[in-house]
Structure 1
Amino acid sequence: MTKIDERPSATAPELEPIGGDTAPIYDENGAIEPDFLRDVTAAIETGNSASLRALAGRLHEADLGLLVVSLEPELRPKLVEMMGDEFDFAALTEMDDRTRDEILAELPNATVAEGVRELESDDAVTILEDLEPEDQAEILEALPAADRVQLQRSLDYPEYSAGRLMHTTFVTAPPFWTAGQAIDVMRDTDEEHLPESFFEIFIVDPAHRLLGNIFLDTLMRAKSRAKLEEIMNVERRRVAVTEQRDDVARLFQRYNLVSVPVVDEAERLVGVITIDDIVDVIQEEADAEVKALGGVSENEELSDTVWWTAKSRFVWLFVNLITAFIASSVLGLFEGSLQKMVALAVLAPIVASQGGNAATQTMTVAVRALATRELSRANAARVILREIMVGALNGVAFGVITGIVASIWFGLAGVGVVIALAMLTNLIAGALGGILIPQVLHRFDIDPAVSSSPFVTTVTDVVGFASFLGIATLWFGLG
């Protein structure tokens, strides 16, 4: 996107600044310093724009984003308005979606348009993509025509695609230029027409199809008269504009990339994705997986309301309640045995719990392997066999341990034998459930990170109770 150097300055009362630019921002734990936060809050509440700019105007966009999130919700849009042209709208990309949307909803569209105008295209898309269509249209209309066309095209690409992630400002050159020409052109080009930072130029044909690239170190080492087509890298990896961003992240990880060009269906160069964008994607994907394994919505943030948070967690808690009733119903089948031998009631939860823990370990590995595509049909049989053997080995080890403890505890050798056999059975069942259930769900296009846990837990609870009480009933003749 084209950048401008000046924006209208917001009027502000000339008050004596509070604190100063030497005030510490973070405490020893890396959190916002309470005194600094108090000074910023005081400046906002008293309308002291001079103080606010002195305190927050010097912050990096990431630090500014954290500061905004740390404020009370009603103060956040006020900070943006009071800082005026000194507020870096890139800070809005450094916070969760819900907080950003709440701030944008309180700001005039004209203010948002001014802020977006100075951003790189990928940051601008992040801010605009979740706005209401009418607000989005009004903001786009306020932008220069070239910027508006670029942003509208990026917004038209599918959500979570490379097109939404890419920068649309990059440097191109024709293959017949010499190295000297390319360097001279870049040197003579106005800074506002170049990317904020770049380390390669892309070689394109007259139809703007990507032919290759040249990194700047190669360009600077080349002879001045060397043609670009002679020194360009024609094997440059590229991604399609519609490719999913998690696939792009995997490409970066696999080939240790720092950037990758983005092309459309006609192989025309339309953008470039850099490593800083991919780091955010990897962090978001990891965050979503961790939340999903705990039955928490990937959209949940610390800034959410109590009602929204409780509502989003209700579904999986309800599913877990149903599966708990299923597991408990197994105990009802052995009611007579439990009444005759109290030891069984005491020890049964141990078998189920240990199997559940083992299954969770296997499930975590399986879900992660499916997400990174390390687990596929090609190696599924080998991985399943490995997990069964691990389950059996740990089953024998913990069966012996719990068997000895149970025998000493209740003074019955038979109890030790029963719990040892049940422990072996349930750890093998847990290994099978932990590896097979995520694969089955994945095969039916159901997110295994979200759905596996309650089913795997049910398997280990049912098998644990049934195996322990069933073996005990047969061993002691309690039926």
Structure 2
Amino acid sequence: MTSAAKLENTEHLLDRAIEVLAKDSLIEIRNLVRSLYPAEAAHILESLEPELRAKLWAVMPPSVIGEILVEINVEVGSSLLKITDRKDLIAATESMGADGMVDLLHVLPEPLLSQVMESIGVHNRNRIEKALSYDEHTAGGLMSDDVLTIRADVTLDVVTRYLRLRGNMPAATDSLIVVDRKEQFQGLLPINQLLTHDPHTKVESIMDTRSSAIPYGMSSRDVAGLFERRKLLSAPVLADDGKVLGRITIDDVVGLIREEANHSLMSMAGLSEEQDMFAPVFSSAKRRALWLGVNLLTAFLAASVIDLFEATIQQIVALAVLMPIVASMGGIAGSQTLTLVVRGLALRQVTTSNAVSLLFKEVSVGLLNGLVWAVVVAVVAGLWFHNPHIGMLLGVAMLINLVCAALSGVAIPVLLDKIGVDPALAGGVLLTTVTDVVGFMAFLGLATLFLL
């Protein structure tokens, strides 16, 4: 089968799954399940209606359900746990490594968590309890303790014989971690160096002592940034005293980046990335009602500004036709700046040291765009209503609002980030409120001053 054919099959996995489930053939459903990787199964389960989801889950082998629960979002996973036999869940943990077990235990509710912990051996329990002690949003929470260490004073031949005797290496091993007799980090020996140098060469003479080592308390977002900047495939994680605790691999970071992207996208609509797309109508409506209520309050605030100029609007009806243009243009311009800054904050590209420079740059962009479009709308509105004065006031109001939108688009997310509020979640609502209020106030205020 060609790579193109494989790609096409991947794109149509969901359609194929729905088609097979519709036939209600147990043999075909089992064949489908056997062909899926855990992440693919998780994607399909998240995309199915609850009835079809339960039908597919019922034939999942216990050996893979643990890995699927790690990949799937929390709300869907919780619904599946309710229909999962406890014996099957405990059996699933027996085929998982310690790293996978830790990820699974993070998503299990307390009663199940205790049952699973009791079912595993003392050695595994100690390893897992140690891993669970780290904050899951730090390097310690991301790392695996499945590491391979060697000494600096041995030859490559000794290392090679040691690897043969060991029989296997941790998954995604691109380098061996070099430590001293106290298990403190010394450097890394890339696998390609091991394979291409003379067997009698000592490790210390070719190991990379400049390699990146990550403190266990580093935030997961900073870990992702480090992997991206330095093109890392793996990196050791160190304790405060320099001892090697574990390592982080690129697959851990890819999963983290995906979660961050989902979080940012959903937060901008006031939603959670862990929500079930096919959750019951009542619970979905209940969740969204709060955010709609917040938006309604801000809408009333904008409406109250319009109400202040009721007499002006009654005398010049054209103002009612034109004022949404000012608010709309300000909202779009502000959203462009807000998106840029939220992304910069997420990637650690926006900090206190460069925020003022970015503010001046965005205000300059708003001023330039404001001048250009102010002329355009002034001409169009003046010709439309045969009143050049209305056109000029519309253009000035738009200029004011676009500059204010740029200012708010930088200031709001930076301030929210400083006080610990997610700018992706709250920034859009605040920005829309500012651009609506300023737009209406500028246009109607100017009209009141100069046209009446």
- Whether 1:228 and 2:200 are equivalent positions in the alignment is no
- Whether 1:98 and 2:75 are equivalent positions in the alignment is yes
CA distance in 2, matches of 1:42, 1:26: 24
Distance change >3 Å, CA 395–CA 29, structure 1 → 2: farther
Deviation at 1:413, TM superposition (A): 1.2
Counterpart in the other structure of 1:5: none
- Whether 1:30 and 2:5 are equivalent positions in the alignment is no
More helix by share: 2
CA distance in 2, matches of 1:365, 1:431: 11
Amino acid at match of 1:39: V
Counterpart in the other structure of 2:178: 203
CA deviation string 1:273-330 (max 9, x = no partner): 1111111111111111122222223433414332332222222221221111111111
Which of 126, 145, 158 is the matching residue for 1:149? 126
1:328-367 counterparts in 2 under 5 A?
A: 328-367=303-342
Counterpart in the other structure of 1:139: 116
Do 1:41 and 1:71's aligned partners in 2 also have CA atoms closer than 8 Å?
Answer: no
Distance change >3 Å, CA 320–CA 235, structure 1 → 2: same
Q: Which has the higher contact order (CA 8 A, sep 6+)?
A: 2
Give the SS at the match of 2:82: helix
Worse-matched range after superposition: 99-108 or 181-190: 99-108
How many residues are aligned here?
A: 448
Do 2:331 and 2:432's aligned partners in 1 also have CA atoms closer than 8 Å?
Answer: yes
Do 1:425 and 1:467's aligned partners in 2 also have CA atoms closer than 8 Å?
Answer: yes
Do 1:169 and 1:271's aligned partners in 2 also have CA atoms closer than 8 Å?
Answer: yes
Do 2:70 and 2:107's aligned partners in 1 also have CA atoms closer than 8 Å?
Answer: no
CA deviation string 1:387-414 (max 9, x = no partner): 1111111111111111111111111111
Which of 257, 274, 279 is the matching residue for 1:299? 274
Distance change >3 Å, CA 264–CA 117, structure 1 → 2: farther
Do 1:429 and 1:460's aligned partners in 2 also have CA atoms closer than 8 Å?
Answer: yes
Distance change >3 Å, CA 141–CA 229, structure 1 → 2: farther
Deviation at 1:124, TM superposition (A): 2.1
Do 2:14 and 2:44's aligned partners in 1 also have CA atoms closer than 8 Å?
Answer: no
Distance change >3 Å, CA 140–CA 81, structure 1 → 2: farther
CA distance in 1, matches of 2:303, 2:147: 62
Give the SS at the match of 1:379: helix
Distance change >3 Å, CA 140–CA 373, structure 1 → 2: same
Give the SS at the match of 2:353: coil
- Whether 1:321 and 2:302 are equivalent positions in the alignment is no
Do 1:297 and 1:313's aligned partners in 2 also have CA atoms closer than 8 Å?
Answer: no
Deviation at 1:222, TM superposition (A): 2.2
Amino acid at match of 2:158: Q
**Stretches of structure 2 lacking an aligned partner (at least 5 in a row):** none
Counterpart in the other structure of 1:413: 388
- Whether 1:183 and 2:167 are equivalent positions in the alignment is no
**TM-score, normalised to structure 1's length?**
0.87
CA distance in 2, matches of 1:142, 1:115: 11
- Whether 1:117 and 2:98 are equivalent positions in the alignment is no
Distance change >3 Å, CA 440–CA 300, structure 1 → 2: same
Give the SS at the match of 1:297: coil
CA distance in 2, matches of 1:67, 1:381: 45
Deviation at 1:42, TM superposition (A): 5.3
CA distance in 2, matches of 1:27, 1:221: 39
CA distance in 2, matches of 1:311, 1:109: 31
Counterpart in the other structure of 2:187: 212
Over the matched positions of the two proteins, sequence identity in percent amounts to: 34
Distance change >3 Å, CA 349–CA 213, structure 1 → 2: same
Distance change >3 Å, CA 380–CA 167, structure 1 → 2: same
CA distance in 2, matches of 1:31, 1:207: 53
CA distance in 1, matches of 2:156, 2:302: 72
1:456-471 counterparts in 2 under 5 A?
A: 456-471=431-446
Amino acid at match of 2:82: A
Give the SS at the match of 1:106: coil
**TM-score, normalised to structure 2's length?**
0.92
Distance change >3 Å, CA 37–CA 319, structure 1 → 2: closer
- Whether 1:276 and 2:251 are equivalent positions in the alignment is yes
CA distance in 2, matches of 1:275, 1:114: 28
Distance change >3 Å, CA 300–CA 59, structure 1 → 2: closer
Distance change >3 Å, CA 331–CA 116, structure 1 → 2: same
CA distance in 1, matches of 2:326, 2:83: 55
- Whether 1:126 and 2:103 are equivalent positions in the alignment is yes
